Amino acid sequence: MSVHENEQAVAVAVLGLGEMGSALAVALLDAGYPVTVWNRSEDKVHQLVAKGARPAATPEAAVAAAEVVIVNVKGGAVAAEVLRTAASALPGRTVVDLTDGSSEQSRATGQLVTTHGADYLHGQIMTIAPAVGSPDAVVFYGGLRDVFDRHEALLRSLGGRATHVSDDPGVAVLYGMAVHDIMWGLLNGFLHAAALLGNAGIRVGDFQQVAQPSLTALSSLFPMLAGEIDRAEFATPYGALVHHLPSLDDLIAESRVRGIDVDLPTYTRKLVAAALDAGHGHDSYSRLVEHFRRG
Ligand SMILES: NC(=O)c1ccc[n+]([C@@H]2O[C@H](COP(=O)([O-])OP(=O)(O)OC[C@H]3O[C@@H](n4cnc5c(N)ncnc54)[C@H](OP(=O)(O)O)[C@@H]3O)[C@@H](O)[C@H]2O)c1
């Protein structure tokens, strides 16, 4: 999205020009925003200046030149430290913190920023750098709704699927973490399966092409699982936990015979067996959420 002809271009500062910060700065320049950049090491600043950005010698100078301040550095603690050094220039600005960290760090940075008279949004970027600025790029935002609304056009230039999820910046962090949590579970399952298939001399790509409809169907389970968990209603007429146990035993035995690591399916079997022992054999797989709640 480019800045609308009638819309006065908002001056933006980008603090941090690593892989992601540089992509954010380029997307803003492409969208027609005037961009001032700062980075700890100067070499990356030169690359952005060559693309039309203005350099700033300090975070404070960059913030002073902008209405909206994007922060994208390595970790929540560094983001807070960079903003602290720019504190005197913060009043009246909007800080959009796109740095990953914990929900608590994000709330603390929000507190630091608002205490110095600026507005604060935390955005959780759910894409890799080359996709920044594309219409499909997802970013979850937390912070006051009216601050998001005021800067929505600019935020959409970073990712077309910019979505406000909560007035609490920590909730955006948790949304991002939840997606990663699910991603690692799915990826580990895929890689375990790949090892098993590879051991049997099967090309993973051949399997994937044939099995793709089944793999795609897995994501269509999420609305059903989410509803069961939110309602705490786990009874199901189909695919109950009791039916998972024999399949897990088969997978563990096959893996063992082939010399494939059995930790992952053994862990899953342990959860299913415990639920059966507790009398939940005829419940949906979503019943296992209770195991994770106990920690
Ligand atoms: N890369 C991605 O695809 C991606 C995707 C989603 C989210 N993110 C998030 O975006 C953030 C940045 O990631 P990245 O991939 O761009 O990392 P990166 O390429 O390693 O860049 C890190 C940035 O942080 C700066 N930095 C590190 N320590 C600093 C310090 N003590 N003081 C000041 N600046 C410091 C670096 O400055 P120097 O150049 O001087 O080292 C650099 O600008 C992270 O929170 C990451 O999780 C990245």
Three-class DSSP category at 219? helix
Average pLDDT over residues 206-216: 97
- Contact call for residues 98 and 71 (beta carbons, < 8 A): yes
Q: What is the whole-number distance in angstroms between the Cα of residue 20 and the centre of ligand 1?
A: 7
Q: What is the whole-number distance in angstroms between the Cα of residue 78 and the centre of ligand 1?
A: 9
pLDDT recorded at residue 71: 98
pLDDT at 198 over 80: yes
- Contact call for residues 45 and 38 (beta carbons, < 8 A): yes
Mean residue pLDDT across the chain: 96
Q: What is the whole-number distance in angstroms between the Cα of residue 278 and the centre of ligand 1?
A: 46
Residue 100 Cα: closest atom of ligand 1: 45
For residue 140, what is the enclosing H or E element?
strand 138-143
How far, in Å, CA of 24 to CA of 29, rounded? Answer: 9
Instruction: Calculate what percentage of the chain has a pLDDT beyond 70.
Output: 97
Using alpha carbons, select from 32, 9, 62, 64 the residue that is nearest to residue 73. Answer: 62
How far, in Å, CA of 263 to CA of 93, rounded? Answer: 50
Average pLDDT over residues 247-274: 98
Given pLDDT bands bounded at 50, 70 and 90, which one contains residue 1?
very low
> b/e per residue, 75-103, with b = 16+ CB within 10 A?
ebeebbebbeebbebbeebbbbbbbbbeb
pLDDT at 33 over 50: yes
pLDDT at 169 over 50: yes
